[in-house]
């Protein structure tokens, strides 16, 4: 669902709210001024219309007019563009009772330029309008909950909002209800109910609903299983937590990698798609460059490497296909990968930003194996060594390591054979010299890699429980 910001702003002209203090002449002039600002009436210029509406508010504010002035300030209609004044006008219009102004305010925040975009403020504006039962704001609020933009991701909460708007025959809300029931998001999957909502939306002329009715399967029907030559490459059913961690000397990551790129739904609990992923990269101390090949899409990339283990792509935009745009591409920006490197294996979370929708994409999981990695024993010189042993009569693990200098904090990370983080512990300051830590990670029997990060020092140990 793509729309320009101006097209999405609500500027009603056919019906004005009842006024108790303004006469019919005032309302007629306001209607004319609004038509002039919209370009429907060219008998006057836009500056006249803006001035008339502004002067009408000197002694007494009107909610509808404040909303129109907000749009005029936002787009420079008859006046100099001024986002700050637009926000003030929308806020006042909402407080005075013109609830569509909350939709306009939220859209201003949601589709602002990237450096000023604020999903939290957008959600708050939509929620204020939804509380007043404005249909557009109910939909907006549900949409933000559906994707977790500016709020906690919550399918069930989004359904509540969509249902409130659906009683007004709000086509986008009926469409979203159809998606929720078709995929079982926040509710038990039910094809009959899904089709009921989708048909209502389609009958109202909503094109996305028509396309969904023609699509054979829901988006979470199951990923295509791309076989890999390495049985150790696998991915979890739900989007895992990724704790970024790279070796002290990141140059050891240089090489060729094969694996998978897995996309999950907005909650991270269902796999949407799976694509083969091939990455060739050359890594210096704080930069990386190379080729990123996912499926049939190829991206030449360069990235800066953060201290926490994140790869931030530099000027990397790519046109990609997805399920909801099968016949045309959408433009995405590759923003960063929160990356963990463990003995020749890479796991991470890829962050994409849709330049068309102006919002982040679904969570994506990266799992790769270095072509010359042989599993255990690989990369023995990537980290300083520590002594690690487990108590056979309990689940306690003890680590001993020597610090060259005092540090303000120490972090311990534990990874399983699939390079998934299964434990994270944080400790306070430690002095230079030999230190020891004992902790109980509650792990099942198996093979694990333990990392310790203390200031600029990084340690590694392999342990079998």
- pLDDT tens across the length of the chain (465 residues): 444 444 455 544 333 344 444 555 677 888 899 999 989 988 999 999 999 999 999 988 999 999 999 999 999 999 999 999 999 999 999 999 999 999 999 999 999 988 899 999 999 999 999 999 999 999 999 999 999 999 999 999 999 999 999 999 999 999 999 999 999 999 999 999 999 999 999 999 999 999 999 998 999 886 555 445 455 677 888 998 887 888 877 888 899 999 999 999 999 999 999 999 999 999 988 899 999 999 888 899 999 998 778 899 998 888 887 766 666 778 999 999 998 887 788 899 999 999 999 999 999 999 999 987 554 444 444 566 688 877 777 778 888 888 889 999 998 888 887 677 788 888 999 998 888 888 888 888 887 888 888 888 888 787 877
Contact residues for 24 (Cβ-Cβ < 8 A; gap 6+):
none
Q: Tokens 């669902």 map to which residue? A: 1
Contact 262, 223 (CB under 8 A): yes
Helices (H), 170-315: 171-183, 191-203, 207-214
Contact 72, 106 (CB under 8 A): no
Task: Please name the helix (run of DSSP H) or strand (run of DSSP E) that holds residue 348, with its range, or none.
Answer: strand 345-354
Q: What phi, psi does 41 have (nearest 5°)?
A: -120, 120
In three-state secondary structure terms, 97 is coil
Backbone Cα Rg of the chain:
28
List of domains in the chain: 5-214 (1.25.40.10), 250-370 (2.40.128), 384-464 (2.60.40.3080)
What is the distance between the alpha carbons of residues 426 and 375, in angstroms, rounded to a whole number? 27
Q: How far is the first Cα of the chain from the last one, in angstroms, to the nearest whole number?
A: 51
Q: What Å distances lie between residue 316 and 254, 261, 277, 353, CA to CA?
A: 20, 17, 17, 11
pLDDT in tens, 332-384: 999 999 988 877 888 999 999 999 999 999 999 999 999 875 544 444 445 66
Indicate the pTM of the whole model: 0.82
| Tokens encoding 4 | 């320009």
Give, as one character, the DSSP assignment of residue 20.
S
What is the distance between the alpha carbons of residues 164 and 166, in angstroms, rounded to a whole number? 6
What is the distance between the alpha carbons of residues 258 and 280, in angstroms, rounded to a whole number? 9
pLDDT in tens, 256-296: 999 999 999 999 999 999 999 999 999 988 899 999 999 88
Q: What is the overall mean pLDDT for the chain?
A: 86
* pLDDT value for 9: 55
| Tokens encoding 158 | 């989004």
In three-state secondary structure terms, 460 is strand
């Amino acid at each position: 669902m793509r729309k320009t910001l101006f097209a999405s702003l609500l500027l009603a002209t056919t019906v004005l709210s009842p006024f108790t203090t303004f006469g019919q002449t005032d309302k007629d002039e306001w209607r004319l001024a609004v038509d002039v600002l919209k370009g429907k009436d060219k008998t006057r210029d836009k500056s006249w219309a803006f001035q008339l509406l502004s002067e009408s508010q000197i002694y007494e504010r009107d909610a509808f007019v404040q909303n129109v002035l907000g749009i005029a300030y936002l787009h420079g209609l008859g006046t100099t563009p001024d986002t700050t004044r637009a926000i003030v006008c929308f806020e006042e219009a909402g407080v005075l009772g013109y609830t569509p102004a909350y939709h306009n305010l939220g859209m201003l925040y949601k589709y602002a330029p990237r450096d000023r975009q604020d999903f939290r403020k957008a959600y708050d504006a939509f929620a204020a309008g939804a509380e007043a039962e404005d249909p557009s704001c109910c939909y907006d609020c549900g949409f933000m909950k559906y994707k977790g933009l500016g709020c906690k991701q919550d399918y069930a909460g989004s359904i509540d909002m969509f249902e409130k708007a659906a009683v007004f025959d709000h086509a986008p809300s009926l469409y979203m209800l159809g998606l929720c029931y078709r995929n079982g998001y926040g509710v038990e999957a039910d094809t009959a109910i899904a089709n009921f909502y989708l048909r209502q939306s389609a009958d109202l002329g909503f094109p996305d609903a028509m396309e969904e009715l023609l699509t054979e399967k829901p988006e979470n029907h199951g990923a295509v299983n791309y076989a890999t030559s390495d049985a150790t490459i696998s991915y979890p059913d739900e989007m895992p937590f990724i704790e970024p961690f790279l070796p002290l000397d990141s140059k050891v990551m240089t090489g060729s990698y094969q694996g998978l790129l897995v996309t999950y739904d907005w909650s991270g609990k269902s796999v949407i798609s799976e694509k083969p992923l091939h990455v060739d990269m050359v890594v210096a101390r704080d930069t990386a460059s190379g080729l990123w090949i996912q499926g049939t899409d190829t991206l030449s990339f360069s990235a800066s490497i953060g201290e926490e283990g994140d790869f931030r792509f530099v000027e990397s935009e790519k046109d990609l296909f997805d399920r909801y745009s099968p016949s045309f591409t959408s433009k995405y920006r590759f923003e960063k990968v929160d990356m963990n490197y463990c003995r020749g294996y890479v796991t991470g979370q890829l962050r994409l930003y849709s330049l068309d929708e102006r919002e982040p994409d679904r969570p994506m999981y990266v799992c790769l194996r270095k072509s010359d990695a042989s599993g255990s024993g690989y990369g023995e010189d990537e980290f300083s060594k520590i002594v690690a042993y487990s108590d056979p009569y309990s689940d306690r693990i003890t680590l001993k390591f020597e610090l060259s200098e005092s540090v303000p904090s120490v972090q311990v990370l534990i990874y399983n054979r699939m390079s998934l983080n299964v434990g994270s512990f944080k400790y306070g300051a430690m002095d230079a010299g030999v230190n020891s830590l004992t902790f109980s990670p509650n792990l099942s029997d198996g093979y694990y890699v333990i990392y310790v990060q203390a200031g600029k020092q990084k340690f590694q140990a392999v342990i079998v429980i």
